[in-house]
Copies of this chain bind each other. A is one copy, B any other.
Amino acid sequence: MNDQPKVKARQPRGLADRGPAELAAADRMLAKIRESYELYGFEAVETPFFEYTDALGKFLPDQDRPNEGVFSFQDDDEQWLSLRYDLTAPLARYVAENYDKLAKPYRSYRAGYVFRNEKPGPGRFRQFMQFDADTVGAASVAADAEICMMAADTLEKLGIRRGDYIVKVNNRKVLDGVMEAIGLPDAPEHHQRRLKVLRAIDKLDRLGPHGVEMLLGPGRKDESGDFTAGAELDAAAIARVLSFTAARKATNAETIAALEHAATGSQRGLEGVTEMRDIAAFALAAGYGEDRILIDPSVVRGLEYYTGPVFEAELTFGVTDEKGAPVRFGSVGGGGRYDGLVGRFRSEPVPATGFSIGVSRLFAALKLIDSPIVSAGSQMGPVVVLVMDRDRVAHYQAMVAKLRAENVRAELYLGSAGMKAQMKYADRRNSPCVIIQGSDEHAKGEVQIKDLIEGARAAAAIQSNDEWKAARPAQFSVPEHDLVNAVKDVLARHA
């Protein structure tokens, strides 16, 4: 193999390796979320990393080629497979395939990586983790209310204070009413423009009303000069859409009244308003006021499969953006009702609603507020037994085995470097102490224990190299048969 030309060691763009501190912190965060979801009766499920492309609904319209946004490949039967793009489509496949086996309504959660075949950028990855919870088989918006409460509870359990987050609720049916009113009812020929309207509104937070107005109308050129085509609505239609997104008032009750007014004449729109009223009432009865669950018509969620309530969990505390301007931290998750997704596979309709957390966004937020759940702390490393005499490696290995047998994390230095490099290695490993046995100590049946934590403290207080050599602080000899107990004493001192 060494004759081959050297290959460059490079990670593909938009991917990330993760080390021990980050993995441990992320695990603690995920465990908290799981705990919160299980309290609500949700249970774990795991589906594979890829599915048939048709099961994900990811073929390009009228073509036998998968959507470019997903990573796709063909199997030995020439069937198209795609890496999962989110955790919702695989759940829909799972539920449809196991429908009769599952107790319904079926509440489930799952965390896992999803993959997007898109240009990566700062904070935009091609592999990232989502944590989803879904309730399948419940048509009542009590299920939607429950998911909003669960999102609120979960954020608080992660250390985000009440007042620093808000779960916003809107309803696609109301927006559908507005679409009907501007001449874009739900029909295949309007599909593309409806999607453009949705995506335009979804950018309200980022672009402001003027930017959205451009995207609803002729289109918008961004700062880099890239042009995004608009939905080509006329002025009256744009005004109607913007008045809808701006319908949020001081209280949930007033917002609902304003929406009721905006939806006048559309049966579907009024149905949506009733659902929002019910969600607010369910939440309030369970003790979740509008300081936590808020009706907000500016929330639309870009995905086209939502059919009713949609939610967004936002962190409201301030941060500075890349240009140094103060902004809210923003969304860490969202979801909504998708009554059509499972129905793609079955003859009867199957109602469903869910919520998805963007795990790395949430992780970044917890870092920012210095949540103890994700704070690294400096974990103590293993005890290192140094190799002083090469021909006594077996003896050193026996020492390490004795330490481990007593549940002390320990390792033998396995490299070929000298004493100085071995000490440096122990430092980098964050070792509490090293064990040293040269031939002199061996002859006396002793080992030296060097306490690196105490030693670092002492070093800070000592003036000169000579003084150091004379004192040799934090280093002491013990009979070899006392090794394990002496090491345990050192560990206990620094615990």
Asked if A127 is at the interface of the complex by the 8 Å CB criterion, the answer is: yes
Q: With contacts A76-B119, A407-B39 known, is A414 near B140, CB below 8 A? A: yes
Asked if A240 is at the interface of the complex by the 8 Å CB criterion, the answer is: no
Give the residue of B104, B145, B149, B414 whose beta carbon is less than 8 angstroms from that of A146.
B414
Shortest Cβ distance from residue A78 to the other chain B in the assembled complex, whole angstroms? 12
Q: With contacts A135-B414, A397-B146, A425-B103 known, is A9 near B44, CB below 8 A? A: no
Are B40 and A411 touching (Cβ within 8 A)? Answer: yes
Are B142 and A104 touching (Cβ within 8 A)? Answer: no
User: Please, which residues of chain B bring their CB within 8 A of the CB of A172?
Assistant: none
Asked if A469 is at the interface of the complex by the 8 Å CB criterion, the answer is: no
Shortest Cβ distance from residue A13 to the other chain B in the assembled complex, whole angstroms? 8
Q: With contacts A398-B285, A404-B39, A414-B138 known, is A1 near B344, CB below 8 A? A: yes
> CA A20 – CA B103 in complex, angstroms?
13
> CA A11 – CA B11 in complex, angstroms?
30
User: Please, which residues of chain B bring their CB within 8 A of the CB of A57?
Assistant: 7
> CA A401 – CA B149 in complex, angstroms?
9
Shortest Cβ distance from residue A387 to the other chain B in the assembled complex, whole angstroms? 9
Output the nearest chain B residue to A4 by Cβ-Cβ distance.
B344
Q: Which of A91-99, A248-256, A310-318 contacts B (4 or more CB under 8 A)?
A: A91-99
Are A49 and B127 touching (Cβ within 8 A)? Answer: yes
Asked if A482 is at the interface of the complex by the 8 Å CB criterion, the answer is: no
User: Please, which residues of chain B bring their CB within 8 A of the CB of A409?
Assistant: 38-41
> CA A50 – CA B288 in complex, angstroms?
43
Are A17 and B1 touching (Cβ within 8 A)? Answer: no
Asked if A45 is at the interface of the complex by the 8 Å CB criterion, the answer is: yes
Q: With contacts A103-B429, A414-B135, A415-B138 known, is A45 near B17, CB below 8 A? A: yes
Q: Which of A67-75, A215-223, A443-451, A453-461 contacts B (4 or more CB under 8 A)?
A: A67-75
> CA A138 – CA B137 in complex, angstroms?
56
Are B140 and A393 touching (Cβ within 8 A)? Answer: yes
Shortest Cβ distance from residue A409 to the other chain B in the assembled complex, whole angstroms? 5
Are B142 and A7 touching (Cβ within 8 A)? Answer: no
> CA A138 – CA B48 in complex, angstroms?
36
Asked if A65 is at the interface of the complex by the 8 Å CB criterion, the answer is: no
Asked if A374 is at the interface of the complex by the 8 Å CB criterion, the answer is: no
Shortest Cβ distance from residue A316 to the other chain B in the assembled complex, whole angstroms? 23
> CA A12 – CA B76 in complex, angstroms?
12
> CA A49 – CA B11 in complex, angstroms?
11
Are A142 and B393 touching (Cβ within 8 A)? Answer: yes
Are A416 and B55 touching (Cβ within 8 A)? Answer: no
> CA A416 – CA B138 in complex, angstroms?
7
Give the residue of B7, B15, B38, B39 whose beta carbon is less than 8 angstroms from that of A344.
B7
> CA A149 – CA B401 in complex, angstroms?
9
> CA A341 – CA B76 in complex, angstroms?
29
User: Please, which residues of chain B bring their CB within 8 A of the CB of A38?
Assistant: 409
> CA A43 – CA B72 in complex, angstroms?
33
Are A24 and B1 touching (Cβ within 8 A)? Answer: no
Give the residue of B12, B103, B344, B347 whose beta carbon is less than 8 angstroms from that of A51.
B12
> CA A401 – CA B142 in complex, angstroms?
13
Q: With contacts A282-B394, A398-B286, A404-B39 known, is A15 near B48, CB below 8 A? A: yes
Are A1 and B345 touching (Cβ within 8 A)? Answer: no
> CA A115 – CA B71 in complex, angstroms?
15
> CA A69 – CA B137 in complex, angstroms?
40
User: Please, which residues of chain B bring their CB within 8 A of the CB of A47?
Assistant: 11, 17
Asked if A105 is at the interface of the complex by the 8 Å CB criterion, the answer is: yes
Give the residue of B113, B145, B281 whose beta carbon is less than 8 angstroms from that of A49.
B113
Are A415 and B20 touching (Cβ within 8 A)? Answer: no
Are A49 and B115 touching (Cβ within 8 A)? Answer: yes
Asked if A329 is at the interface of the complex by the 8 Å CB criterion, the answer is: no
A contacts, CB < 8 Å to B: 1-2, 4, 6-13, 15-20, 23-24, 38-41, 43-52, 54-55, 57, 71-73, 75-76, 79, 81, 83, 92-94, 96-98, 103-105, 107, 113, 115, 117, 119, 127, 135, 137-140, 142-143, 145-146, 149, 153, 281-282, 284-288, 305, 340-341, 343-347, 349, 381-382, 384, 393-395, 397-398, 400-401, 404-405, 407-416, 425, 428-429
Can you offer 14 A-B residue contacts whose CB atoms are under 8 A?
A8-B55, A9-B93, A11-B94, A12-B52, A15-B48, A15-B50, A17-B45, A18-B46, A39-B404, A40-B404, A49-B49, A107-B414, A146-B397, A287-B398
Q: Which 4 A-B pairs have the closest CB atoms?
A: A41-B411, A9-B96, A138-B414, A285-B394
